[in-house]
Structure 1
């Protein structure tokens, strides 16, 4: 058990260590020119060690050092009131509400499209190419159009951001669900015909149970894409709350440390959402009689 745990943790720890080292080196390289300019104007010639410390402690660095981001994240997560506009928990909750709404709509839409594609040959030949083509449109170009059009008809707030999340999340669900609904073997389909089962009886008793692993695997991708959609949807609206608004404000005022903290918060939210979907998937599969891994 200990050896297995060590084999899993050591590679992860080694990669994290490598990322931290590269990050610190990058922070020094990118912050050094500005620090040299400051020292030259102040007519100072600090020692190398002091100069390195200065590049890692700038209030508005080009690339913040990891410890600066960690300190900012800790302060704005654990030392702020959750209702404060500076709290990352507050901003994460605002983005999460749009994410979950869009993810729910995207999942339902993806499942509906997949069922139609599997059971209607015309939809398979006509709809699937358009679905694939829709994902080639850059979301950064599409999001402002959705926001403006919906605002013109008086729809603002949560729904426009949720629709952008829906746009990104329905595709992986539709593709995964199509593969899952078509996963039963010919032998099993022939057996259902032998029992004189109709199309929908075959769907409920064979195709749908077989598609569950594919559905939850695609939902992991969809929930992460939904979070990206919610954050992107906050950018063109000039939102005053949400992870996207933190990124936007940070870019306006060169608060790079706040921007990186918001990115870390978004990453943690994404990891928690993907983990939650995975746990629910395992519970559903076990309830259906699948063996625990």
Structure 2
């Protein structure tokens, strides 16, 4: 209850600011219509107009809520106008890219921790790779993969993998190196092999770091899937909804897709959090 009140306060502030911003940004168009019609707007009429425009610069929250309702509950999930359908297309690429990125990140982290050459050569390149803007890299990845006959889900998943593997690498390297010197010496005293030290000490110690990285990675993977849909002129997916809304000035559609993407990201991070609590509890870490 103590945490509920501050959260509600912040949410109410955000919605209040959003409504005020909608009045400010949409007012010029309302005044322009009134001037051409030769009428003078009252304050209440101005507010009503700015919160109900068909193509506002900034849609009011209730307009976005109505659009989400109409494109989820009111539409069949197989319809091309359904946000659930488009969310599933994006989610498919997100999950595939997340799995690939997690696997690659863990393998690289193990190699970096156990191989000094990889530590000095691969790790700098891993860090450098994230300095390249994904918006510049995504079209190149898609063009190259299309040139070799790979299209559809995999190119978007590759972009998701590119964004998601980095936090996993960094988190796992930190986690695998987290055991103290005394603990490592104890394993040597017991004559434990490198593999036994890995499975019995390093890997369990890395779990909190891994799950923290996975939360960042799954959100980054969703961003990658959406970005991957933009340069292809996709007709399905949340990125496609953003493109279509941008082409036709449908700002309400754009915002509904953005809110849906944010809700999807929150759901994925929450699922990772649930798996984290269950796993750590079974390992006796909670």
TM range (shorter): over 0.9
Say yes or no: does 1:109 pair with 2:97: no
Cα offset, 1:290, TM superposition: 2.2
Q: Deviations over 1:121-171 (max 9, x none)?
A: 111111111110100100011001111111111111000000000000000
Say yes or no: does 1:84 pair with 2:79: yes
Matched residue, 1:195: 190
Q: Deviations over 1:79-103 (max 9, x none)?
A: 1100011111101000000000000
In the superposition, the TM-score normalised over structure 1's length comes to 0.96
**Structure 2 CA distance, aligned partners of 1:175 and 1:141?**
23
Matched residue, 2:247: 252
Cα offset, 1:281, TM superposition: 1.1
Say yes or no: does 1:156 pair with 2:116: no
**Structure 2 CA distance, aligned partners of 1:46 and 1:14?**
32
Cα offset, 1:201, TM superposition: 1.2
Q: 1:178-257 residue pairs with structure 2 within 5 A?
A: 178-257=173-252
* 2:35 alignment partner, one of 25, 40, 48: 40
Matched residue, 1:71: 66
Which aligned segments of 4 or more residues in structure 1 are displaced greater than 3 angstroms? none
Matched residue, 2:122: 127
Q: Deviations over 1:28-49 (max 9, x none)?
A: 1110111111111122223221
Are the counterparts in 1 of residues 77 and 85 from structure 2 also a CA contact under 8 Å? yes
Are the counterparts in 1 of residues 175 and 210 from structure 2 also a CA contact under 8 Å? yes
- What is the RMSD of the two structures over their aligned residues, measured on CA atoms? 0.8
In the superposition, the TM-score normalised over structure 2's length comes to 0.99
Matched residue, 1:147: 142
Structure 1 SS opposite 2:3: helix
Return 5+ residue gaps in structure 2 as ranges: none
**Structure 1 CA distance, aligned partners of 2:41 and 2:33?**
11
Are the counterparts in 1 of residues 31 and 41 from structure 2 also a CA contact under 8 Å? no
Say yes or no: does 1:136 pair with 2:131: yes
Return 5+ residue gaps in structure 1 as ranges: none
Matched residue, 1:276: 271
